[in-house]
Amino acid sequence: MITINNADAALKDYYLDAVNAQLNGEVSPFFNAIAKTGENVFGKDVKIAIAKGGMAGVVAGAEDGDLPAPRSNRYYGVTLPLKNIYGTIEISDKAMRASENSAGAFVNLLNAEMEGLVAGAKANFARMLYGDGNGILCTVESKKSAKVLVVNNAKSYFNGLKVKIGSLASVYTVTAVDTENKEITVDTAFTEAQTFSGGEKICLAGADGNELIGLSGIFDGTTLYGYDKSTESYFQPYVKHCAPAAFTESDIIDVIDTIEESADGKVNMILCSHKVRKQIAKLMSSSRRIVNTADIAAGYSSIVINDVPVYADKFCPDDRIYFVNTDDFVLNQLCDWAWLEDEGGRILKQVAGKAAYSATLVKYAELVCKKPCGQGAIILDKTA
């Protein structure tokens, strides 16, 4: 007979290993390429000493000459709190009882729940890699009607998400997305007094400051990891602005060369949306260059420009092309994915006030770039 104890044992002894295998290797090309470690985790924080690099302190001299003076302040200290990332499954008591005499039915029940959990965890992790820690999805350009906003970046996965818009107190649900015209529709009409000047951020409800610091957090804003970019150039990545329909292969190569020359960096991956990758492929095919390759190791197809693979990711904004060295990134984690357990070691617990049981998967982690100045981006700006 299937019981709560049987279900707990299955989640702990069988499903957890399978979940970790999928979530650690099948998320996205960028995620798959970066290091994952617990070496930099101390208590609830990530603490990393980042070497400034450069050639200072290394000189040639006479055999009997003075040794170079030791270089002071060679490291940046970075301390960040680990972010709490959760995923929850829920099984009704009715479903449990219906399958209690059938192991096959019970396995099918758990499989369906776990497939949904894994899919959601993959998508959210992949999305956070492009964010700034605040769950920003897009920016308002104008209000078209009582429920429709024109935005700078409309993705199909926005549909169904609960969002906060600018300084408005209400939480809205996205009910429709027009990716072609860059419009989103919400469930509740705006009042006449609720006007938009443009630039208001649309964010996932409850995500403010609780997500991983991804690529947007590295490129946007005046500070990074507590350092002012204007005075500490090490934390300022390279940015080139181009008109959306006018960037060329030369612009892409220029970013790669600039990073190599000015920051002693090495770009080994380019990330963009599917729409932008098609544009890049068109640029390259016009010069009769081979553009299609298959990266079997990563499990994702790419095109190659200047020997650097270009990957399309649905979570990358349409107005960004990122140039990264994945060796400079590390996902610092307190532990791998694990189930939350109560004092008795139980995973499945009754949901208060409901005839259902829930289990919560958790991971404590933070993404850190050890060399922000070695990364680059082309921002496809209408005003460029």
Q: Where are the domains of the chain?
A: 4-52+74-131+331-369, 136-204
Share of the chain above pLDDT 70, in %: 90
Tell me what pLDDT residue 82 has.
97
- Binned at pLDDT 50, 70 and 90, residue 1 comes out as low
Q: Which amino acid is at 36?
A: K
Burial (CB count within 10 angstroms: exposed 0-12, middle 13-18, buried 19+), residue 328: buried
Higher pLDDT, 17 or 334: 334
Tell me what pLDDT residue 220 has.
94
Tens digits of residue pLDDT in 121-134: 888 889 999 999 99
CA-CA distance, 178 to 294, in Å (whole number)? 31
Strands 308-312 and 269-272: parallel
Tell me what pLDDT residue 313 has.
92
Relative orientation angle of helices 249-263 and 274-286, to the nearest 10 degrees: 100
Instruction: State if pTM tops 0.85.
Output: yes
Please say if the pLDDT value at position 293 is more than 60: no
CA-CA distance, 65 to 113, in Å (whole number)? 71
CA-CA distance, 184 to 380, in Å (whole number)? 21
Average pLDDT over residues 237-262: 93
Pair of tokens at residue 293: 């390759």
Higher pLDDT, 136 or 25: 136
Average pLDDT over residues 210-235: 95
* Displacement of CA 85 from its chain's centroid (Å): 12
Tell me what pLDDT residue 22 has.
81
> What is the pLDDT of the chain when averaged over all its residues?
87
CA-CA distance, 58 to 87, in Å (whole number)? 50
Tell me what pLDDT residue 49 has.
92
Pair of tokens at residue 94: 């009715």
Mapped onto helix, strand or coil, the DSSP state of residue 67 is coil
CA-CA distance, 290 to 328, in Å (whole number)? 29
Pair of tokens at residue 333: 């984690």
DSSP-derived secondary structure letter, 375: -
Domain covering 136-204 in this structure, CATH number: 2.40.30.290
* Displacement of CA 4 from its chain's centroid (Å): 35
Strands 329-333 and 35-37: parallel
Please say if the pLDDT value at position 243 is more than 80: yes
Higher pLDDT, 89 or 315: 315
DSSP-derived secondary structure letter, 210: T
Higher pLDDT, 10 or 99: 10
Residue 204, strand partner residues: 163
Alpha-carbon dihedral angle through residues 351, 354, 357, 358, given to the nearest 10 degrees: -50
Please say if the pLDDT value at position 290 is more than 90: no
Residues 6+ apart with CB under 8 A from 199: 139, 140
